[in-house]
Amino acid sequence: MIVIYGRADDPPIARLLDAVRDVMLEHVLLDQRELEHSDMVVDFSSPARRGRIVFAGADVPLETVDAIYARPLGLPARWRDPLVRVRAQAVHDAVLEWLEVAPTLVVNRPSSMDSNSSKPWQTQLIAASGFLVPETLVTSDPDEVRDFLARHGRLIFKSVSGVRSIVQELDASFHGRLDRVKALPTQFQAYVSGVDVRVHVVGDWTFAAEVRSSVIDYRYAARAGAEVGLEDIQIPDAVRDRCTALARRLDLVFCGIDLRRRPDGEYVCFEVNPMPAYSYYEAETGQPISRALVSLLSGKRGR
């Protein structure tokens, strides 16, 4: 039995549901939008973490769960009744606690996502896996930013934390505002020229997509009126192996790794997304990521 936790209207969940139905894999969706109608009991002190989930007419003993895919988003704001909100929050909290200790495959455990809350910390972990990383400076000293800029010619800046931010180039329009870093240390990185490559790691499988875009942060290309093209590509074996080693180091059985291939052919790694919205890449490239996820959840590892 596979448990899928998330929202049915979230594209990655929707694609995974299609894939599990295609192979008629026994599964249940615990839909975050319906949590007020759900219940859970977990015995955290039992070695098997016995218990059950009750929802949508199903009553699933936790001992029968072989694997879990979790993509928890924020709870809906539509619940105004405090009773409903408390119940939904209680189920959500119980699920997250269970994900940490469930004695089965969990894609991914919440604690495995911790490194994503500090980008420079994650950068250190990435480098320890053998990838080059962009030279990074987090500073509250405007003069140091100017020196860093003079040394590298081009810089980008982005949030230090996991708070989503648009990666922007530190162009002339920002030079007059550099004193603002005195109030809050800000992260700058040397600009790395080249082509973006997104690698999804699913167990030991890897799926690489080259991203063609004229903007710094292709996730927000539409806002800039730019287009994005994605193409399925093969990456060198050594880079693929580094990706799977990085995922293992971060204890992530599924992740999205952002690389840039420099003109000299070397790959630089920017960050790792522990809960990737893979559906976009799958839809654009035809890569069978959701099928690989189903295989992983069925007990296969890949390669």
CA angle 278, 232, 16 (to 5 degrees): 30
Which of 18, 21, 44, 175 contacts other proteins by CB under 8 A?
44
For other proteins, which is the closer residue by CB, 6 or 134? 134
**38 binds other proteins, rule: CB under 8 A:** yes
**Min. distance of Cβ 87 from other proteins in angstroms?**
7
Look up residue 250 and give its two tokens.
């971060």
Closest approach of Cβ 40 to other proteins, in Å?
Answer: 5
The β-bridge relationship of strands 67-70 and 105-107 is: parallel
Distances (CA, A) of 152 to 195, 233, 261, 301: 19, 30, 18, 41
Q: How far is the CB of 264 from other proteins (least distance, A)?
A: 13
**In terms of C-beta distances under 8 Å and separation of at least 24 residues, what long-range contacts does 121-126 make, across chains too?**
122/250, 122/271, 122/272, 123/271, 125/246, 125/249, 125/250, 126/246, 126/269, 126/271, 126/272
**Size of the residue set binding other proteins (CB under 8 A):** 56
Question: Is residue 298 part of the contact set for other proteins (CB under 8 A)?
Answer: no
For residue 204 the two structure tokens come to: 């030991």
Minimum Å distance from CB 216 to other proteins? 19
Binding status of residue 90 toward other proteins by CB under 8 A: yes
End-to-end CA distance of the chain: 24
Q: Count the Cβ atoms, other than its own, within 10 Å of residue 114.
A: 15
Task: Indicate whether 104 belongs to the interface with other proteins (CB under 8 A).
Answer: no
Output 153 or 225, the one with its CB closest to other proteins.
153
Question: Interface with other proteins includes 101 (CB under 8 A)?
Answer: yes
Residue 178 within binding range of other proteins, rule CB under 8 A: no
Selected from 11, 72, 76, 162, the binder of other proteins by CB under 8 A is 162
Contact between 197 and 296 (Cβ < 8 Å): no
Residue that is written with structure tokens 């093969």 in the block: 234
User: Among 139, 168, 273, 279, which residue sits at the site for other proteins (rule: CB under 8 A)?
Assistant: 139
Among 20, 107, 133, 216, binds other proteins (CB under 8 A): 133
Specify the DSSP class assigned to residue 124: H
Contact residues: other proteins, CB under 8 A: 38-45, 47, 49, 51, 54, 82-83, 86-87, 89-91, 94, 97, 100-101, 111, 114, 117-121, 123-124, 126-128, 132-141, 144, 159-163, 183-186, 268
